[in-house]
Structure 1
Amino acid sequence: MRAIQLTAPGTLELVEVPTPTPGPGEVLLAMAAVGACHSDLHILDAPAGVFPTPMTLGHEIAGRVAQLGPGVSGWSDGEAVAVYGILGCGRCRACLRGRENQCRTVPVGGIGLSRDGGLADHVVVPADRLLPLGGLDPVQAAPLTDAGLTPYHAISLSRDALRPGTCCVVIGIGGLGHMAVQILAATTATTIIAVDTSDAALRLAKRMGAHHTVQAGPAAVEQIRELTGPAPDGAEVVLDFVCVDATLATARQVVSTGGQLTLVGLGGGTLPMTPTAEGPPPVPLETGAVIPFWGTRAELAEVIALARQGLLRAEVQTFPLSETVQAYQQLRDGQIHGRAVLVP
């Protein structure tokens, strides 16, 4: 079968490998769609030894059941499924409470992260990672497993604060940000303020349910403040899907006293938090910061339910498996609006 593999740091190749056989407790899936995530670029750029090689990438997976391994039941041949990609230890306190994204034993374990992923004609996954799609288009379903789940989990961490009359600022309307806008619109009554450098991204945010859009830049803080009110008021929650220095500076200047900064992006910026004796604190008093990671299986089921109800839809650009390298280059160059999806 064909597979897109990380063969060395920075090297992605289309190779021929044997079709895997499912072991006990596993299922072989025929791939239907795989989302291309920006975090895959970080895997590509990582130094030797951080991720195994060769390894098939792809952790946003939707497929059809092709073969059940020994001891597996409850799934029918050809059934369409989504894959929950996290692989926790299953034994620590977090995993036992269903919070495998907080596993205390396996820091970052997952399909397409620590074992072969879905950018191939077939993939083997543990049977307990599967969730039924119930008629949902696999091309739509694949991005839900991360680009939908991660913002859903991030919003869930602050859901009690997102009450009528509050404001939520969403910075970065890309693969995750455009889903966050929809999730906020579908599950809260907060006022949604979308921020991006791209006019096309801001138009997308407006279509997805944002009440206001703001062009990122020197005037962004003032424009957001006109919508949220002056300090100590402000945005109850700021979701930063970029997290470079510039976006973090905007985030800390528009969050309210007692608000929450939710840092999702992998931009590598710095957010000063520690108060000093000289001058005002770098963030408002009583402000919290959280770094979400993916989400839980229960939350993924809820994300799929939102999509099946027509309340959540990914903006996708599809590519054949043979054009995976080009798709990732477009992603790196900022040319993907929404989510790139590979269709084997």
Structure 2
Amino acid sequence: MKALQYVEIGQPPRVMEVEKPTPGPGEILLKVTAAGACHSDEFVMGLPEEAYVYGLPLTLGHEGAGIVDEVGAGVTAVQVGDSVAVYGPWGCGVCPACAKGQENYCHVAAERGIVPPGLGAPGAMAEYMLVDNQRHLVPLGDLDPVENVSLTDAGLTPYHAIKPSLPALVPGAVAVVIGSGGLGHIGIQILRAMSPATVVALDVSDEKLQLAKDVGAHHAFRSDESAVEKVRALNGGRGATAVFDFVGIEPTTALAAKLTHPDSEIVIVGVGAGAVPVGIFTLPWETKARAPYWGSRSELFEVLDLARAGLIHVETERFSLDDAPKAYERMHAGTLRGRAVIVP
């Protein structure tokens, strides 16, 4: 079968011929219907050799959906022919975090070598994908897999980041989204669907700012020093109650720190080297900073229910498996509108 693999450090991924997997006990083989491309893939492929830990060759794709093609012994939760999405942050399944469905925070995954698909295990950018356990599958039902596969990360990650902040996002509050690309444009929709706050998008790209407006941002400003005054002007100089940074580099985290008010929150979601200082004489009093990762299994059900209700959608551009390397070229160039989805 064909698979898009990262084969050589520092080189673009290539479409390769690999052996079709066979499910063992407890495993499920999916005929892939869609796989999402993510900036995390680009981050992984940009690592120098001494920092790269994901193994080679690596079949990419941590956002996956498919039709159940075969099941191993003991699998009872899904049947051949079911349309499913893959919950990506695999854990041990039995530690305290996993018992709550928070496999994204599994206590022992690292020490036991448990890795997500596309980030160590073979991913979804292939004609077939092996899933290790039925608990990692969520029914898609009548949701279009191509239009919704990216919700398994690009929807789940912002949902997990935003949900704890919702009690503070009351009428009159301002929520800022920095970076309105693949994750950010869904984060904007989640905020609009679940809070009465004024939603402000910041980006350096006019195209991304237009996308932010198209999906519901109340305001969209250039992500520079002028944004501080513009955001503060929206509520009499107070500033943002919550800032969600979907970029996570030093300029954006520094900007986030300038946007907040006392008892506010900064949530760094983007995979970058940025950070915010936390101390008595740094951020406004009682300002909190979080760096969440992915999301829980139960939250993925909630995200898909938001999509079924028509409250969120993913802007997608489709690529065949043969053209999948071009999706990453477009991502690197910053010319994608929303998410790239690979359709084998």
Whether TM exceeds 0.5 here: the answer is: yes
Name the counterpart of 1:50. 53
1:192 shift after superposition: 0.4
Match of residue 260, structure 1, among 241, 265, 284: 265
Matched, 1:273 2:278: yes
1:78 shift after superposition: 2.1
Letter in 2 for 1:93: P
Name the counterpart of 1:120. 126
**Aligned residues of 2:77 and 2:134 also touching (Cα < 8 A):** no
1:248 shift after superposition: 1.3
Residue pairs, 1:1-344, within 5 angstroms: 1-11=1-11, 12-48=13-49, 49-107=52-110, 109-125=115-131, 126-230=133-237, 233-275=238-280, 281-344=281-344
Give me the TM-score of the superposition, normalised by structure 1: 0.95
Identity level (%): 47
Q: Root-mean-square deviation (CA), in Å?
A: 1.4
1:141 shift after superposition: 1.7
**Aligned residues of 2:31 and 2:127 also touching (Cα < 8 A):** yes
1:218 shift after superposition: 2.8
Letter in 2 for 1:217: D
Aligned length: 337
- Helix, strand or coil for the counterpart of 2:64? strand
Letter in 1 for 2:135: D
Q: Deviations over 1:27-63 (max 9, x none)?
A: 1100111110000011112234511112211010111
Letter in 1 for 2:253: L
- Helix, strand or coil for the counterpart of 2:36? strand
State the alpha-carbon separation in 2 of the partners of residues 25 and 52 from structure 1: 24
- Helix, strand or coil for the counterpart of 2:322? helix
1:291 shift after superposition: 0.4
Q: Deviations over 1:240-260 (max 9, x none)?
A: 001222211211111111100
Give me the TM-score of the superposition, normalised by structure 2: 0.95
- Helix, strand or coil for the counterpart of 1:123? strand
Gaps of 5+ in 2: none
State the alpha-carbon separation in 2 of the partners of residues 218 and 131 from structure 1: 43
Gaps of 5+ in 1: 276-280
State the alpha-carbon separation in 2 of the partners of residues 88 and 229 from structure 1: 46
1:87 shift after superposition: 1.1
